[in-house]
Amino acid sequence: MKTSVGEIAALVEGTLIRGDAGVVLTNFAALDQADATCVSFYGNPNYREQLESTRAGLVLVPDAGVSAPEGAALVVVANPVIAFDRIVRCYGVTPPPFEAGVSAAAFVHPKAQLDTTVVSVAPNATVASGALIGNGSRIGAGAVIGQDAVIGEDCLIGPNVTICQGCIIGDRVILHPGVVVGADGFGFEFVEGRHRKIEQLGIVRIGNDVEIGASTTIDRARFGETVIGEGTKIDNQVQIGHNCIIGRHCIIVAQVGISGSTRIGDYVTLAAQSGVAGHLVIADRVTFGGRSGVIASVREPGGTYFGYPARPFKENRREAMRIKQLGSLFRRVKALESGTVADSGNEE
Amino acid sequence: MKTSVGEIAALVEGTLIRGDAGVVLTNFAALDQADATCVSFYGNPNYREQLESTRAGLVLVPDAGVSAPEGAALVVVANPVIAFDRIVRCYGVTPPPFEAGVSAAAFVHPKAQLDTTVVSVAPNATVASGALIGNGSRIGAGAVIGQDAVIGEDCLIGPNVTICQGCIIGDRVILHPGVVVGADGFGFEFVEGRHRKIEQLGIVRIGNDVEIGASTTIDRARFGETVIGEGTKIDNQVQIGHNCIIGRHCIIVAQVGISGSTRIGDYVTLAAQSGVAGHLVIADRVTFGGRSGVIASVREPGGTYFGYPARPFKENRREAMRIKQLGSLFRRVKALESGTVADSGNEE
Amino acid sequence: MKTSVGEIAALVEGTLIRGDAGVVLTNFAALDQADATCVSFYGNPNYREQLESTRAGLVLVPDAGVSAPEGAALVVVANPVIAFDRIVRCYGVTPPPFEAGVSAAAFVHPKAQLDTTVVSVAPNATVASGALIGNGSRIGAGAVIGQDAVIGEDCLIGPNVTICQGCIIGDRVILHPGVVVGADGFGFEFVEGRHRKIEQLGIVRIGNDVEIGASTTIDRARFGETVIGEGTKIDNQVQIGHNCIIGRHCIIVAQVGISGSTRIGDYVTLAAQSGVAGHLVIADRVTFGGRSGVIASVREPGGTYFGYPARPFKENRREAMRIKQLGSLFRRVKALESGTVADSGNEE
């Protein structure tokens, strides 16, 4: 990005009320992160303090009556949030445009099924025999599409992604770099002092409009399917075990782990670093707080749970309060033992 | 998979006692996950309720005296578990067959050591100078075998795996996609306000019959070896630090982390999301529950530990019980303070 | 490594005071891990017990007055630690040497910017249009450098690393295998029952002398930059969310997760498996113990915090003590209820 205060004012159809139109801007940032090279925006009175101390070179503001440091040029616009978004879209780093065709440096098996005039396969990607790539999809550099795998239409398969044999990906799915779909589930029998592998002969099926973050791993089913429901969004470094059924429109935040054969309903949220044990059932619209450890099924829809073991939010908070008050409880018991009564305050 | 009720009955040498032999089946699933397109099985009376409400198109049953929904065809076989396994092996998604030869789209350094008539190197794989690939091993697409690394016989090195310089892999080892073996250990000295790298000059040695899950990382030793013992099975997204010695036939479940220089005995189980601090010693046959945080050595073999810090199972459970009873304890102390005695129930 | 007791003695300019100079040595190890094929060292009286029971073939010792098993040859040197380091550097597994040039099996876009006489691009690596590779840098096999990304000088970009479009890497940066820099941040708006993607149009900027461990993921900013400060060292499988600003010379140990828009100061340490919530501010020189869960900003520099929620070390320890003493507290309350006073010992 290389622009100026004047160009930005023109782009957002705003009015420069203070500052030099010729000042060069090379970046954008939030008010508290901006320096003199940055355009920023003030769209919410909650950020008044940040506005008052910002070092931004230019701030988009909703009216002339704001208080900002002298160093900041000011441009008045009707809606600073929308105007800023316009700047970001204009100057931000966008993904490379879709270019149809198979790179000469890619390997596409002659028995792969794809229309090279409407799909994009980057250098050093591998598309194995029988794999099917839907129209409008792009396969990133170094990605590997296994034998007989199916990729829907308009998908974005990132660099160095691996999709193993037979797995099925819906339409408009985004897989970020390093994702692994369809590695074997973790299943062994203990026979005569050794762990003997149980063959994993199912697949992973990923619904339409799913997005999966970098280095997330989703194991194939022992038999049948591991399923990620339509519209579900999964963050980075999430692990989903074999035969899990994840519902539609869920949010699964970074570093969550879900053990095998668990079924998660629709619109479930799992905050970061949570874990869910195997063979459980979680109802629709349940929310688990960060780092929850879920070791029992949750049959009632819509609740909020925290802690390890995960419990209803209020119960978890009550217990945390009691633990916090333990010091005073010890003192109260000591007072009772010595024949006096301590002040119990307003504790339980 | 595309088959019919009649074909399945013939395959498992069973007797169709109800339903239409011509009904088409396209998948298999557990009783509670099956729909009309699926074959399922009933092998254990614990699942009677699931049988009674299944929507499977066909169920393999041990005798005619079972109660299943009318929509389900029924085939009687001697052992439904074994019969179902036969169907899965027949129609399941199996790994692509071994095909000897080096893909023209792979890079194999002229000084790599391998017999191209009995190993398989997939497109876009890289085998560096001095690397040795044992007979019967296959190197997946996009995998990188570093300089002088040694791969034993009949190994399965998955797509996009990285094995760094000098590391040694035994026979019949399975590395799933995205595994990294032999990245540098995390070691720095703090000198004049900066962290100075301590060179990591050892290797990783992986024993025979080890299986390692997707995106697991195992660091090379500072000097000498990081060791994974024979027959140990490691799940996805596990992190093993430099100079760790992991014993034989261990089970290490997803997202576990083991810090540097720790020694784990044989037949140890670490359940999901556990962590083990550095420089500890864990005796043989010890089991750690999910999300244990192990911060002290465990010298006695065979115990079961839970919690953070990890403690013997009973001790951990007792403490959890006491915390659960805190509400009542607060009430009892309040009663004492007010001169009455609350009912302590059957608590401690 | 293949050497002998005599050769080692000569290499370290030491004096063989016991044992046969011809004995073959093939490895090196710490005293407690060494066997007869290994050279080891005794540099610190804390390890006297390990010395007395070592099975090493040769031990470097500071003087002749030590007590070691008869099987161990002994070589006296002035400083065993330095002498051992010399052996490791001589015989250890070093990274492959830098070799300038672009492999014929790599893909470098004609519009990439690099001087092929002074950079190294390994087989099956991909360098996209507009990407710039600084002099002295090497790009590992299977790595992907996205469009317009900038790599500084003397960097080591490991195999199967992905650097996405527009991201900027400083000088002397080391990225271990499987690292993903610049995948999209995790941001969605909930509109009419579906999660709609918020475009992620910023970049990741990584300072000079940063080292990042295997399979770590760092997301691009929504707008502006996600920043990793100069000299910071990050271990394996760490997740850093969009718009985080990580300071200089921090230590972030394995499997840590940092949510979006959090700002970490300089010289901060996050021990393994910790998590930090989003939009927080952490002051300089703060240390978080293993598995801390940080859910509030820490404004005061220099403290040490533990637990979930993370609290000052002493507070956390006091609470842990109280929980440990709960059994006795229950007994004391019971005694009070029955009209006697239990011995409260030296507890609170």
For chain B, 348 residues long, give each residue's pLDDT as a single digit of tens. 789 999 999 999 999 999 999 999 998 888 988 999 999 999 889 899 999 999 999 999 999 999 999 999 999 999 998 899 899 889 889 888 899 999 999 999 999 999 999 999 999 999 999 999 999 999 999 999 999 999 999 999 999 999 999 999 999 999 999 999 999 999 999 999 999 999 999 999 999 999 999 999 999 999 889 999 999 999 999 999 999 999 999 999 999 999 999 999 999 999 999 999 999 999 999 999 999 999 999 999 999 999 999 999 999 999 999 999 998 999 998 998 888 655 554 444
Tokens of C50: 């390990």
Amino acid at C27: N
Contact A142 B160 (CB under 8 A): yes
Question: According to CATH, what is the number of the domain C101-313?
Answer: 2.160.10.10
| A149 vs B93: CA distance, rounded Å | 10
**What's A185's DSSP letter?**
P
Checking B80-85 for CB contacts under 8 A at 24+ apart, the result is B80/B41, B80/B42, B80/B43, B81/B41, B81/B43, B81/B44, B83/B12, B83/B14, B83/B41, B84/B28, B84/B39, B84/B40, B84/B41, B84/B43, B84/B60
| B160 vs B171: CA distance, rounded Å | 20
Which three-class secondary structure string do you get for B190-250? EECCEEEECCCCCEEEECCCCEECCCCEEECCCCCEEEECCCCEECCCCEECCCCEECCCC
Asked if residue A123 lies in contact with residue C106, where contact means CB atoms within 8 angstroms, the answer is no
Which has the closest alpha carbon to C269: C238, C243, C237, C234? C234
Rounded-to-10 torsion of CA C254, C260, C266, C267: -20
| A249 vs A229: CA distance, rounded Å | 7
**What's C113's DSSP letter?**
B
Contact C142 A160 (CB under 8 A): yes
| A255 vs A245: CA distance, rounded Å | 18
Contact B178 A319 (CB under 8 A): no
pLDDT at A342 over 90: no
| B176 vs C33: CA distance, rounded Å | 29
- Superfamily in which the C3-91 domain is placed by CATH: MurE/MurF, N-terminal domain (3.40.1390.10)
Amino acid at B254: A
In sequence order, which residues have a C-beta less than 8 Å from that of residue B283 and are 6 or more positions away? B265, B298, B299, B300, B301, B302
State which CATH number among 2.160.10.10, 3.30.1490.20, 2.70.98.10, 1.10.287.10 fits the domain covering B101-314.
2.160.10.10
3-state secondary structure of B162: strand
What is the structure's pLDDT at B52? Answer: 95
Give residue limits of the domains in chain B. 3-91, 101-314, 318-348
For B189, other C-beta atoms within 10 Å of its C-beta total 9
Concerning whether B176 is annotated as a catalytic residue, the answer is no
For chain A, how far is it from start to end, CA to CA, in angstroms?
Answer: 59
Angle between helices B326-337 and C326-337 (to 10 degrees): 40
Using CA coordinates, name the residue in chain C closest to B165.
Answer: C95
Q: pTM (2 decimals)?
A: 0.93
**What's C47's DSSP letter?**
G
Nearest chain A CA: its distance from C170 CA (Å):
18
Selected catalytic residue, list A109, A176, A195, A242: A242
User: Closest to A124 (Cβ–Cβ): which among C126, C223, C277?
Assistant: C126
Contact C275 A255 (CB under 8 A): yes
State yes or no: ipTM above 0.95.
Answer: no
pLDDT digits (tens, 9 = 90+) for C282-321: 999 999 999 999 999 999 999 999 999 999 999 999 999 9
At C346, is the pLDDT very low, low, confident or very high (cuts 50, 70, 90)?
very low
3-state secondary structure of B297: coil
Which has the closest alpha carbon to C32: B224, A271, B342? B224
pLDDT digits (tens, 9 = 90+) for A201-251: 999 999 999 999 999 999 999 988 999 999 999 999 999 999 999 999 999
Among C31, C46, C90, C93, which would you mutate to test the B interface (most chain B Cβ atoms within 10 Å of its Cβ)? Answer: C93
